[in-house]
Structure 1
Amino acid sequence: MTDAIHGAKAPAASARSGPVSSLYRAVWRWHFYAGLLILPFLITLSITGAIYLFREEVDQLVHADFMTVTPVTEQRLAPSEIIAAALAAEPGRAVKYTDPATDTRSAEVTVQPETGGRMAVYVNPYSGKVLEVRGDRSTFAWTVRYLHSFRYFGATPRKVIEIVGGWSILMVLTGIYLWWPRGQGGGVITVRGKPGRRVFWRDLHAVGGIVVGGFLVFLAITGMPWSSVWGAKVNQWANGNNFGYPSGVRVDVPMSGTRLDDVAKTAWSLEQARIPETAPPAAGMTPLGLDAAVAEFDRLGLHRGYTVALPSGPTGVYSGSVYPDDLSQQRVVHLDQYTGKPLIDMGYADYGPLGRWLEFGINTHMGQTFGVLNQIVLVLVCAGIVALSVSAAVMWWKRRPSGSLGVPPLPSDKKVFVGLFVLLGIGGILFPLTGMSLVAMLVLDLAWQRFRAAHAT
């Protein structure tokens, strides 16, 4: 007897063949539901994720006209002069200055106009020529990033990230059970048949799933920090009670209500970290100015390409932050705007254990930890996920009865659902939105069974 969806042999008949076959059918049914729910999203996430892995290279190619400059022998302009040039082209209040990461990169100034959203002004740091004025975070790479995270579609659609991540893990686990060798001669590590046959697509899906499955689980887990429910709650827990800064890093200074993620791109672990406040200035004290603040950041050794968030008032601070591919170079420094004294100076080594592990996973997820090799491996994984999704769709299309959805049949022994739902329920508790979607799918499945039973009599 062959499996209707996989073309593989059913479990061998024995004294336990009933329960084993029923469990197989139950797992198969929910593996099908998982795929039905998330495969379109997996394809979208894989394509946008593969592009975003090469975000810097693509941005430098697409936006070469304003991101790339020709170095000259003259010294670069002072940051204050670069900001003055930016404000002449886009009037408003300068809120952020981004130091050029290399000698061939333009400087970026973020401006808040009197009306409307923030604007990004790109300036040649040697001549002061304004090269481009556009909406903040509107480059090709940012567009792909927002598509990948569903941020373009609002807060509610972003919850899909958590649902897809949780179901991806469940789909891989159920897929491993279905793949597990049960005496078949092929389809374990080899692909049989030709593309015209269903067994070819079954084997391609099964073998490809085993190769890609571990990577898919890793990407699902490391992508969870961006989800709006699970990610937000874990972020708050990871930050603890010291405004996101471990004990010993934050000095005894007042903290503002502004969070680091509100003013500049930051590490996930520090998104909720509050920005300190400068003590009210004494009589006669004047701000040190951006040029002196940048000189201090350079003296402290911040990696090139750092961003400086400018003080928004008399108690504001200069916040320098940089998050390069090298985790050890991640750093955020807040300077007193009058004395230049570092109020907080924190790097990757100062994160707690959970923060370091999460940042390592996120960094690897973004293709940064292991350089080009990291990018190449993840591009191949993304291609493999797309191939898995396509093979699943073809396999389903070839086996489904005409005019039917082709849902795998119910197991003869309904008791096997108990153990399966306990396992699925554990995953649902860990990932709440996944659990809610699982309950919704269960209700729909039961309703559909009752509907069919009613119309069959």
Structure 2
Amino acid sequence: MSTLARGLARPSPDAVYRAVWRWHFYAGLLCLPFLILLSTTGALYLFKDEITAALFPRRTVVAQHAAAPLSPDRLIYIAAQAVPDGTPVTYLDPAGPTAPAVVTLAGGVAKTLVTLDPWTGDVLDRTRADREPMAVVRRLHSLSYFGPVANGVIEVVAGFTLILVLTGAYLWWPRRQSGGVVTVRGTPRRRVWWRDLHAVTGLVAGTGLFFLAATGLPWSILWGQELRALSNRAGLGQPEALWAGVPVSAVPAGAVLDQAGWALEAAPLPRSQPRDAAPIGIDRAAGILRDLGMPAGYELSLPVGETGIYAAAAYPRDVTRQRMISLDQYSGRPLVDVRFGEIGPVGRAIQYGIGIHKGELWGRANQLAMLAFCLATILLAVTAGVMWWKRRPAGGLGVPPWPHDRRAAVTVTLIVAGLGALFPLTGFAILAMILADAAGQGVARWLRAPAAA
């Protein structure tokens, strides 16, 4: 074959396979420790209600009484007496006749949650909000415990996870082998058994892992914020028309409400118009919300200052019933009332995806399906680690070698870099890995040069 013909020839499948394998190794090297953490904390958070009920049964279920429950104002007063140095900031409406009410008070180094029996007013529990077990699990899941830089690492890992799944699918694709596609060869003593178990597990769990990474990205610190901003500007997320003509503050809904939801957490809160009339009070605000059809279990933020509002958000498991209402604190007039169907198509799609991600959409079946993906991801990480351990050379890292055909290496690297360009933080990480890999190969060639001479 002439030199020109060789230059125009496509890279061999074996060369492409080796290049993909190397990037799969790099993606796994970065992702797997984090995927174990994310899968473990995610599996726990899927059953947050069940775990909380098992750990704290006294504060989770209360006895229903024949008499009417106490008013929100009375419950907030009792909670304030239980935490004298705290200022009430939110009230969580009981989700059902046997559910407690929860008042959040700000003061000191952290917020305090006071759980009350809505029928008797008994204080069932007091705890720091940041020490609530499921809050700890949630912050570990996002790495927000360790600051915004660590939270950005999760965005890098999510982007690399998409690359990990795509490269893994290419490596799994059948190539005349007799096993390792849907069957497992050998015994656990042999590396091929672990390789096949890894491949077959990836076949089953790859789609779920891809979905979990993709639906987690909207919460990310950079890409998620940009997606929200772009969808809002295009009229596909936050329904800006509902804010037309309404005076707004600089405070986003997510700053005061935990249940605002992805599509609305960045939406600005309206402002009340100061007037001579006295504020309507929490009981009247709760009555208005009930008359407007607000689902039980809503979270209500209390007004701060003379322009503050009553901001309420409901985040039930039925995504279509999600709702956010803001009330003028003097007149009780709804300033903004957003139902799920009024959110743009991008916002609704992401809210659906997040609901499935959190196991909230289809009951127990949704929870068990996401749990299976979490456990399969842990198994993928374990089998990958064992495979690497069995194949690594003594004293070496065991990085798969680049193919001799540099066209394959360059082509696959450009494709991976193109995928990384979709997610800026992941793209920067890929660029750093390319530079580090090139530097490492340069050093290796320099070390071999004296011996060759």
Q: Does 2:91 match 1:81?
A: no
RMSD: 1.8
Query: Does the CA-based 8 Å contact 1:244-1:273 persist in structure 2?
Result: no
Instruction: Provide the rounded CA distance (Å) in 1 between the counterparts of 2:368 and 2:423.
Output: 30
Counterpart code for 1:387: L
User: What secondary structure does 1:249 align onto?
Assistant: helix
2:5 aligned partner: none
TM-score (norm 2): 0.94
Instruction: Provide the rounded CA distance (Å) in 1 between the counterparts of 2:238 and 2:426.
Output: 31
CA shift, 1:151, in A, is: 1.0
1:299 aligned partner: 291
CA shift, 1:423, in A, is: 1.2
CA shift, 1:73, in A, is: 1.8
Matching residue within 410, 414, 437 for 2:429? 437
- Relative distance call for 1:224 and 1:243 in structure 2 (3 A) is closer
Matching residue within 94, 98, 118 for 1:100? 94
Q: Does 2:237 match 1:268?
A: no
1:390 aligned partner: 382
Identity of aligned residues (%): 43
Counterpart code for 1:371: G
CA shift, 1:242, in A, is: 8.4
CA shift, 1:425, in A, is: 1.6
- Relative distance call for 1:260 and 1:241 in structure 2 (3 A) is farther
Matching residue within 196, 204, 222 for 1:203? 196
Counterpart code for 1:329: R
Matching residue within 184, 191, 202 for 1:191? 184
Q: Unaligned regions of 5+ residues in structure 2, if any?
A: 1-8
CA shift, 1:243, in A, is: 13
User: What secondary structure does 1:170 align onto?
Assistant: helix
Query: Does the CA-based 8 Å contact 2:279-2:330 persist in structure 1?
Result: yes
1:86-117 Cα deviation digits (max 9, x unpaired): 1111123211111111222221111122x332
Query: Does the CA-based 8 Å contact 2:235-2:344 persist in structure 1?
Result: no
Matching residue within 269, 277, 292 for 2:271? 277
Matching residue within 321, 332, 339 for 1:340? 332
1:108-127 Cα deviation digits (max 9, x unpaired): 111122x3322111111111
Instruction: Provide the rounded CA distance (Å) in 2 between the counterparts of 1:226 and 1:18.
Output: 39
Instruction: Provide the rounded CA distance (Å) in 1 between the counterparts of 2:269 and 2:74.
Output: 26
2:4 aligned partner: none
Counterpart code for 1:76: P
Instruction: Provide the rounded CA distance (Å) in 2 between the counterparts of 1:245 and 1:182.
Output: 48
- Relative distance call for 1:344 and 1:261 in structure 2 (3 A) is same
1:253-280 Cα deviation digits (max 9, x unpaired): 2101111001011201111101101112
Counterpart code for 2:143: F
Q: Does 2:174 match 1:181?
A: yes
Counterpart code for 2:385: A
1:9 aligned partner: none
Query: Does the CA-based 8 Å contact 2:110-2:130 persist in structure 1?
Result: no
Q: How does 1:45-444 map to 2 (within 5 A)?
A: 45-91=38-84, 92-113=86-107, 115-240=108-233, 245-265=238-258, 266-281=260-275, 283=276, 285-444=277-436
User: What secondary structure does 1:134 align onto?
Assistant: strand
Instruction: Provide the rounded CA distance (Å) in 1 between the counterparts of 2:287 and 2:364.
Output: 32
Query: Does the CA-based 8 Å contact 2:41-2:138 persist in structure 1?
Result: yes
Counterpart code for 2:98: T
Q: Unaligned regions of 5+ residues in structure 1, if any?
A: 1-15
User: What secondary structure does 1:269 align onto?
Assistant: coil
- Relative distance call for 1:451 and 1:17 in structure 2 (3 A) is same
User: What secondary structure does 1:345 align onto?
Assistant: strand
- Relative distance call for 1:318 and 1:242 in structure 2 (3 A) is farther
TM-score (norm 1): 0.93
CA shift, 1:143, in A, is: 1.2
Query: Does the CA-based 8 Å contact 1:258-1:275 persist in structure 2?
Result: yes
Instruction: Provide the rounded CA distance (Å) in 2 between the counterparts of 1:125 and 1:427.
Output: 52
Matching residue within 15, 27, 40 for 1:22? 15
Structure 1 runs, 4 residues or longer, greater than 3 Å off: 241-245
CA shift, 1:240, in A, is: 2.7
1:229-252 Cα deviation digits (max 9, x unpaired): 111111222233889741442252
User: What secondary structure does 1:238 align onto?
Assistant: helix
Instruction: Provide the rounded CA distance (Å) in 2 between the counterparts of 1:316 and 1:105.
Output: 28
CA shift, 1:340, in A, is: 1.3
Choose 78-87 or 239-248, whichever is displaced more: 239-248
Instruction: Provide the rounded CA distance (Å) in 2 between the counterparts of 1:84 and 1:50.
Output: 37
Counterpart code for 1:56: D
Query: Does the CA-based 8 Å contact 2:327-2:334 persist in structure 1?
Result: yes
- Relative distance call for 1:193 and 1:243 in structure 2 (3 A) is closer
CA shift, 1:402, in A, is: 1.3
CA shift, 1:369, in A, is: 1.2
1:33-66 Cα deviation digits (max 9, x unpaired): 1111111111111111011001111111212232
CA shift, 1:449, in A, is: 1.0
Query: Does the CA-based 8 Å contact 1:249-1:350 persist in structure 2?
Result: no
